[in-house]
Amino acid sequence: MIRQSIRTAVFGAVLVAGLGSAIALADDAADFYKGKTVTYIVATAPGGGYDTNGRLITEFMQKHLPGSTFVVQNMPGAGHLIGTNYIYASDPDGLTFGTFNTGLIYGQLAGDPGIKFDLTKMSWIGKVSSDPRVIVVSKDSGITSFDQLKNLKEPIKFAAAGVGSASTIETTMLVKSIGLPIQVITGYNGNEDQLAMRRGEVQGIVGSRSTFQQFVDDGNGKFIAQIGGSESDVPQLASMVTSEEGKKAIALVESQSDISRLTAGPAGIPADRLKVLRDAYAAATSDPEFIAKAKTLGLPLDPLIGDAVGDSVKTAMDQTPEIVQFLKDSLKKE
């Protein structure tokens, strides 16, 4: 009985010591950020959905990481490749991370030589939302339905970001697989695409619904098709396409729609610091003031934290050889 009591006491002491060490490590990781400057990379130009989301996230991560200072650095170019390559090559000390386009999943699958990162190895912090894709046409285009677009005798111009961006890749896949009379014009960053549509420079775009909701609400354009999402006010593109290639392209695009507005850092951020960042991200995205501001800005919210985001990315990357080849064929230059 005495021996049992001794063993119990020793076990309890070890357990308390272990818990104390874990708490101390957590405290040390949180203390690490006091007085430190965190650089949050936004892989687009100022303006637009990525920049707006990134600045809102940093405002509230700083609030929930006392003593830290967050600085947003815009790093546009090459369809988010420049900013994402920079994030991945950064020192994994937990002081540099940021946001970029989910179109890079397509680029990595297709073997884009400009990619110097591995999305499956990044330190995933969280994602803000799910966001269906939409086909948007300008008011001045005169187009009011997907059927009208598909049956045009002369091609019209659609804006897209850099070559590796989701808008460029998704538009190209849809054009080739469905046979849409669209000429893809790249190089539009931030909200330049909306300005270009209002100027009549281009007549449409494939993009995230949240980014173009205000544009449509203001009477500047119209959604004529949607991919993914639960909204029923816009017809689903899958219901209007019969070709097998078209359905494959739509399914691939839809697999990305629930992974939107990501935040990630380079591979190898120490586990204790990564946990602190994930906790701050979770606190930020559940903060009532954050939710109210997001609603005011028209930003959709469907947050996910840490490994759950990484698992979603890995699932999106886990495509059959047939789908990978289809993607490569769709992106071949004619």
Q: Do 102 and 263 contact (CB within 8 A), yes or no?
A: no
Q: How many CB atoms lie within 10 A of CB 211?
A: 24
Give the pLDDT score at 206: 95
Give backbone dihedrals phi and psi of 179, rounded to 5 degrees, phi first.
Answer: 80, 40
CATH of domain 33-130+259-319: 3.40.190.150
Give the pLDDT score at 190: 80
β-pair type (123-129, 260-265): antiparallel
Looking at domain 133-256, what is its CATH homologous superfamily? Periplasmic binding protein-like II (3.40.190.10)
Strands (E) located in 120-217: 123-129, 133-138, 156-159, 182-185, 204-208
Residue-level pLDDT, tens digit, the chain, 334 residues: 555 555 555 545 544 445 444 454 457 888 999 999 999 999 999 988 889 999 999 999 999 999 999 999 999 988 899 999 999 999 999 999 999 988 788 889 989 899 999 999 999 999 998 789 999 999 999 999 999 999 999 999 999 987 767 788 889 889 988 999 999 999 898 889 999 999 999 999 999 898 899 999 999 999 999 998 878 899 999 999 998 888 888 888 887 777 778 999 999 999 999 999 999 999 999 999 999 999 998 888 889 999 999 988 888 888 888 888 878 877 776 5
Q: Do 143 and 170 contact (CB within 8 A), yes or no?
A: no
CATH 3.40.190.150 segments of the chain: 33-130+259-319
Residue 177 to residue 153: CA distance in whole angstroms: 18
Q: For residue 155, what are its two tokens?
A: 């091609």
| Residue in 109, 127, 94, 129 with CA at minimum distance from that of residue 314 | 109
Residue 291 to residue 285: CA distance in whole angstroms: 7
Q: Do 84 and 51 contact (CB within 8 A), yes or no?
A: no
- From the number of C-beta atoms within 10 Å of its C-beta (0-12, 13-18, 19+), residue 268 rates as middle
Which residues, other chains included, contact 132 with Cβ-Cβ below 8 Å and sequence gap of 6+?
208, 209, 226, 227, 228, 229, 231, 257
Give the pLDDT score at 25: 46
Please report, as a single letter, which amino acid is at residue 98.
G
CATH 3.40.190.10 segments of the chain: 133-256
The H helix count followed by the E strand count for the chain is 13, 11
Residue 284 to residue 334: CA distance in whole angstroms: 46
Residue 244 to residue 167: CA distance in whole angstroms: 21
Say whether 306 sits in a helix, a strand or coil: coil
